[in-house]
Each structure stands twice: as structure tokens, then as C-alpha cells.
């Protein structure tokens, strides 16, 4: 391994389901977080590891990209939904980790499906936490999208009259079904990527490239 820089290398990881899926990869690349990392009662956001020059921060999935883009973290793991939404030029995403598989989709109440014809839409009102992705998706076929930004509980929007349709991440579809919604359009398949701050890749190239290679080997061995 190349000698570490004087500053610690910071790896930003997302909270939630992806964190569980990334843990085996961390083990395979030789990073073991301190015990507090796995303590459900811990409110800490920054953790040491078995490597004195590697630090982990645990933040919201959308914030992983922000920390990496602005150089507060040199490496991170986030879904390509986040990369599609924010399109940070400061971020390089060299590796698809093959975890966190889901999709971005348009959904509407099941009772609307039989009488709805998406090919005739000219304007749609959509609740979503992905307004940029949503606008680009509909604009590609000449549909104007009015986006209502929500950070969660998208499935409530149609039943409460906020919007007739939503754009959200879908995995099994169980949450949609439980809320009387059905997927009607597929926008993009989503997986989690290893992301790198471009400036750090230049200034700490041997060190960071080594970690990219190790994550690639670990992903291929999965």
C-alpha cells in the first residue's frame, strides 16, 4: 500500500440499508470500523478504524455526495440516483459496487391506471425527492413536470391530494402496494457506486487509486 498522506483519508458511508450491504466490502478491503460503528445506540457520526490513517463518517445518502464533492471526504459510497440528481463535476465514480439495487419509477394510484394514458400527458404534477431527474425524464418526451419536493413519505401525496403521481425509489414494490399505488414508468436502474473527489485523486493519486483497486477486487470477489 502506498504511504498515507499526512491528513487522514475520510470515507463517507450512507446510513440505512446500503450500510449493511457495504460492510462485507469494507471487511474485504481491510477496513474494520471501531466497535461504536455497529452500536445501534451510538449517535456518533465519525468513527476510527483499524487503520490509523482511515476515518469513516456516516451520513444521509444524499449528503455523501456533498461531503465528497466539497473535499470533506475523499471517498464515498452512494447510489447513482444521487449522482444523477446533483451531477457534481467534482465527483468521479469509477466503480459500480453492485449493491443497493433498486430503480427510480413513476407511480400512481391503482384506480387511475385503467383510464390513464401516459402518451397523452402534457403536464404532470409529481411529488418526489428527485426533481431534477423527474424534470429531465418528462422533458425528454415533451411533458412539463411540476415537482413538489418531499424528502420522505412520498406515497402519501396522492391520497392526500398533494399530487396524483410520485417519482421515487422502488425495490420490491411492497410499499407502493401497501399505499394503493402501482408503478407505471421505469426511469432508471440504481446501484451504489464508489465515488472519489477529483482533486484528491490528483493530489493523493497513489493512495486513492490503491483504494479504488482494492474495492474493485473486493467487488469482483463478491
| Structural domain that includes position 69 | 9-100+191-221
Average pLDDT over residues 92-115: 95
- Split into its structural domains, the chain has a count of 2
Distance CA 21, CA 99 (A): 6
Is residue 35's pLDDT more than 70?
yes
Q: Please tell me the pTM assigned to this model.
A: 0.91
40 in a structural domain: yes
Asked whether residue 82 falls in the same domain as residue 152, the answer is: no
Say yes or no: 95 and 43 in one domain: yes
Residue 1 has pLDDT above 70, yes or no: no
pLDDT given at position 32: 96
| pLDDT tens by residue, 65-87 | 999 999 999 999 999 999 999 99
| 196 and 161 housed in the same domain | no
Tell me what pLDDT residue 40 has: 79
**How far is CA 123 from each of CA 135, 141, 145, rounded to the nearest angstrom?**
11, 11, 6
What CATH number does the domain containing 118 carry? 3.40.190.10
Q: How confident is the model at residue 147 (pLDDT cuts 50, 70, 90)?
A: very high
Structural domain includes residue 203 = yes
pLDDT at res. 134 = 97
Does residue 87 sit in the same domain as residue 121? no
**Quick one: 47 and 80 in the same domain?**
yes
Residues 163 and 214 in one domain: no
13: cell is: 458511508
Task: Provide, rounded to the nearest whole percent, the portion of the chain with pLDDT above 90.
Answer: 87
Amino acid at each position: 500500500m502506498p504511504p498515507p498522506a499526512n491528513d487522514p483519508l475520510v470515507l463517507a458511508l450512507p446510513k440505512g440499508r446500503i450500510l449493511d450491504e457495504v460492510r462485507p466490502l469494507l471487511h474485504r478491503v481491510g477496513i474494520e470500523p471501531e466497535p461504536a460503528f455497529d452500536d445501534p445506540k451510538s449517535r456518533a457520526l465519525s468513527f476510527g478504524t483499524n487503520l490509523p490513517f482511515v476515518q469513516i463518517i456516516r451520513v444521509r445518502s444524499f449528503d455523501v455526495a456533498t461531503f465528497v464533492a466539497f473535499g470533506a471526504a475523499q471517498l464515498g459510497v452512494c447510489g447513482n440516483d444521487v449522482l444523477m440528481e446533483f451531477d457534481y463535476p467534482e465527483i468521479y465514480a469509477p466503480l459500480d459496487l453492485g449493491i443497493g439495487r433498486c430503480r427510480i419509477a413513476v407511480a400512481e394510484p391503482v384506480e387511475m391506471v385503467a383510464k390513464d394514458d401516459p402518451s397523452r400527458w402534457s403536464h404532470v404534477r409529481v411529488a418526489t425527492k428527485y426533481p431534477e431527474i423527474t424534470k429531465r425524464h418528462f422533458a425528454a418526451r415533451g411533458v412539463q413536470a411540476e415537482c413538489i419536493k418531499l424528502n420522505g413519505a412520498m406515497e402519501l401525496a396522492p391520497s392526500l391530494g398533494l399530487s396524483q403521481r410520485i417519482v421515487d425509489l422502488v425495490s420490491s414494490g411492497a410499499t407502493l402496494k401497501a399505499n394503493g399505488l402501482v408503478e407505471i414508468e421505469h426511469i432508471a436502474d440504481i446501484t451504489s457506486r464508489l465515488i472519489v473527489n477529483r482533486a484528491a485523486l490528483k493530489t493523493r493519486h497513489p493512495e486513492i487509486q490503491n483504494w479504488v483497486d482494492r474495492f474493485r477486487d473486493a467487488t469482483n470477489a463478491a
